[in-house]
């Protein structure tokens, strides 16, 4: 089974790229971030024509997440618990039946947090603390659980072409690193780092020739419960998609599992 994440940077602007990638690769489940549309505006028909079931948690102009699945949904939940005042659409989760039982796939768009001297950085850290509580509850179920998406976190120096240039940014500073480690310490496995120790980037800025210079960072991740990590076979970063016409600044990242 192939499970992927992709920050699409606007579903309407990238629909042709998404349809091309889905048709070529045919992943079983894809979580999308930054769809930037309300649920009613999501281009369902074109994607459903490729065989995908669709669930969305949209928001006008900003944020928004979705799950596309060749498998039917058993359950769907939307939103991160812990703050009733938080209206940002950043989490969607689906449960799916497979031959070995059930798998739980949770797609997130973690807050960027910049600028750090604004209210956006405390919101990022608070959101991550709420995520930790959420993950604790999911891990207690002792089932295959895949938490994936755009985390807006650079885990370490190996995950940036120029780590010194990023240090101090909300994506790469001590407070963010501490919260990232807290997530892993719950018992999650960083899927890519479980399969390679080589640099592998998932985002290249549109500015300053970042793609041409390969000046990328890794901020799109798959984190796995022990039951999912045991079934991991490999991780693929679809770097070539960044060179397509009208690309997102992120590329799809895919985990392959024995379910």
Supply the angle between the helices 174-185 and 120-139 in degrees, to the nearest 10.
10
Which residue of the set 28, 52, 57, 109 is catalytic?
109
Block residue for tokens 């890519």: 192
> 101: left (phi > 0), else alpha (psi -120 to 50), else beta?
left
Q: Does 112 belong to an annotated binding site?
A: no
Pairing of strands 189-190, 220-224: antiparallel
Q: Does 152 belong to an annotated binding site?
A: yes
CA distance linking residue 250 with residue 208, whole number of Å: 16
Q: Does 220 belong to an annotated binding site?
A: no
Which residue of the set 150, 169, 190, 220 is catalytic?
150
Q: Does 250 belong to an annotated binding site?
A: yes
Active-site residue 245, yes or no?
no
Query: Is residue 19 classed as helix, strand or coil in its secondary structure?
Result: helix
CA distance linking residue 50 with residue 238, whole number of Å: 20
Q: Kindly give, in sequence order, each residue whose CB lies less than 8 Å from that of residue 177, ignoring residues fewer than 6 positions away.
A: 153, 155
CA distance linking residue 32 with residue 7, whole number of Å: 5
Q: Does 205 belong to an annotated binding site?
A: no
Which residue of the set 169, 172, 201, 250 is catalytic?
250
Torsion of CA 231, 26, 107, 65, to 10 degrees: 180
CA distance linking residue 189 with residue 184, whole number of Å: 6
Block residue for tokens 């895949």: 146
Q: Does 169 belong to an annotated binding site?
A: no
CA distance linking residue 156 with residue 158, whole number of Å: 5
Q: Active-site residue numbers? A: 109, 150, 250
Task: Enumerate the known binding-site residues.
Answer: 7, 34, 150, 152, 249-250
Task: Enumerate the known binding-site residues for Mg(2+).
Answer: 7, 34, 150, 152, 249-250
């Amino acid at each position: 089974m192939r499970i992927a994440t992709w920050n699409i940077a606007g579903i309407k602007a990238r629909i042709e790229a998404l349809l091309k990638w889905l048709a070529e690769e045919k992943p079983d489940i894809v979580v999308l971030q930054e769809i930037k549309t309300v649920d009613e505006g999501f281009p369902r028909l074109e994607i459903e024509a490729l065989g995908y079931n669709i669930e969305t948690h949209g928001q006008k102009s900003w944020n928004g997440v979705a799950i596309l699945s060749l498998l039917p949904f058993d359950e769907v939940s939307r939103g991160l618990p812990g703050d009733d005042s938080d209206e940002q659409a950043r989490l969607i989760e689906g449960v799916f039946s497979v031959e070995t039982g059930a798998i739980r796939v949770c797609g997130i768009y973690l807050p960027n947090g910049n600028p750090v001297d604004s209210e956006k950085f405390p919101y990022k850290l608070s959101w991550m603390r709420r995520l930790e509580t959420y993950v604790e509850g999911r891990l207690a179920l002792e089932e295959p659980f895949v938490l994936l998406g755009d985390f807006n976190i650079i885990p370490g120096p190996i995950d940036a072409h120029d780590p010194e240039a990023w240090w101090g940014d909300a994506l790469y500073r001590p407070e963010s690193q501490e919260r990232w480690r807290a997530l892993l310490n719950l018992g999650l496995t960083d899927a890519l780092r479980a399969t390679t120790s080589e640099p592998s980037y998932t985002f290249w800025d549109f500015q300053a020739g970042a793609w041409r210079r390969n000046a990328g960072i890794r901020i799109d991740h798959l984190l796995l419960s022990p039951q999912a990590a045991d079934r991991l076979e490999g991780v693929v970063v679809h770097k070539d998609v960044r060179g397509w016409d009208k690309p997102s600044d992120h590329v799809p990242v895919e985990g392959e599992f024995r379910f």
